Amino acid sequence: MRLALVACGLLVALLPWVIPPFVTFQLTYVAAYAIAILGLVILIGYSGQISLGHGAFMAIGGYTAAILLAGAGIGYWVSIPLAALLAGIVGIGLGFVALRLAGVYLALATLALAASVPPLLKRFKALTGGVQGLSLPSPHAPGPLQPFVSSETWFYYLTWALAAVAFALAWFVLRGRVGRSLRALRDSEIAAVAFGVNPVFYKTLAFGWSAAYAGIAGAIIAIVTAYASPDVYSVALSLELLIGVVIGGLHSFLGAILGGIVVEFLPLWAQKINPAVESVVYGVALILVVIFAPGGLAGGLSRLARALRIQATPRSRPASTIEAISEKSA
């Protein structure tokens, strides 16, 4: 496992030197989406709460970063954490609402949140620049590095480093008591509560945490495109994140990265197949995954790996998807 991580790290580090700048740019997006989708893995996969509105938290993050960077000239080292904080606080607020809403009602409430964001952004022109949105300075590598590292590459590294931190934090926190408590609440709230798991604390924590990750992703996207506009954070973005997490795999970290790849590249592939029916391709991909790989691409991959391993060593111990996560981390 450690070897695989090091290999992935090396791959991420070396890629920008062999791929065209535009692909570097796309892979920056993949990392940003992966952070947001990891938030959905925490919220939906671990805590069993649904959100059709995480695009709204990306909007909060994106505009926080844009306003701080463009308006106040505050650097992204400060802007991105503040974007996470603000999105997280709003997420905790929504988490309290979610305590009173279950299933389909929560889905509707979060969808309504996502739908209300673009009009709100257009309305408060003074702060958000209205329909035009906000332009912000594009990120440059720090002075001494500039001759060697293009701004795309620099921000690619920054984003993947942020993703690494976000994933490491999630792994560290979720592998122990917190992750168990979230899953316990999801599987049987009665039993979890009977054994001392505070449902209000853990459920709002999951909401706030996942919203903060969406906020980081939103901020990154605003900074990397040097632009924030209402149409970037449409309802479609929320739904794409959801499709990404389902196709990638709801219960695994690897699924979040695969989900990021799906969100970034599926629309492009879909357009290549047939530009007129882009959303149909989306729908078909989703249905195929739900039917043939209920654990998403990550679940399918780990099942494949297990099958291969079982063939190699006939008596390996059985593992659930969740176990597969902890195995990977071991």
Nearer to another protein, 54 or 183 (CB): 183
Min dist CB 192 to another protein, Å, is: 7
Residue 72 is given by DSSP the state S
Nearest to 200 by CA among 185, 184, 183, 180: 185
In the chain, what is the greatest distance between 2 CA atoms, to the nearest angstrom? 66
Alpha-helical regions (H) of 101-143 = 103-123, 125-128
Min dist CB 303 to another protein, Å, is: 14
Nearer to another protein, 14 or 193 (CB): 193
Contact code string over 299-318 relative to another protein, x by CB under 8 A: ------------------xx
Nearer to another protein, 56 or 197 (CB): 197
By CB under 8 A, the residues from 219 to 278 that bind another protein are none
List, in order, residues 6 or more apart from 92 with CB less than 8 Å away: 204, 205, 207, 208, 211
- Alpha carbons 247 and 241: distance in angstroms, whole number: 10
Tokens of 249: 């795999």
Instruction: Based on the shown chain and the rule CB under 8 A, indicate whether residue 177 belongs to the binding site for another protein.
Output: yes
Distances (CA, A) of 101 to 48, 238, 244: 13, 19, 24
Nearer to another protein, 204 or 238 (CB): 204
Nearer to another protein, 200 or 288 (CB): 200
Instruction: Based on the shown chain and the rule CB under 8 A, indicate whether residue 49 belongs to the binding site for another protein.
Output: no
List, in order, residues 6 or more apart from 157 with CB less than 8 Å away: 13, 16, 149
Min dist CB 326 to another protein, Å, is: 9
Nearest to 240 by CA among 33, 38, 63, 79: 33
Min dist CB 113 to another protein, Å, is: 28
Instruction: Based on the shown chain and the rule CB under 8 A, indicate whether residue 291 belongs to the binding site for another protein.
Output: no
Q: What is the dihedral of CA 196, 256, 142, 132, to 10 degrees?
A: -100
Nearer to another protein, 106 or 184 (CB): 184
Binding range to another protein, per CB under 8 A, among 132-140, 162-170, 175-183, 274-282: 175-183
- Alpha carbons 223 and 113: distance in angstroms, whole number: 23
Among 105, 172, 195, 269, binds another protein (CB under 8 A): 195
Q: Applying CB under 8 A, which residues contact another protein?
A: 176-177, 180-181, 183-184, 187-188, 190-199, 317-318, 320-323
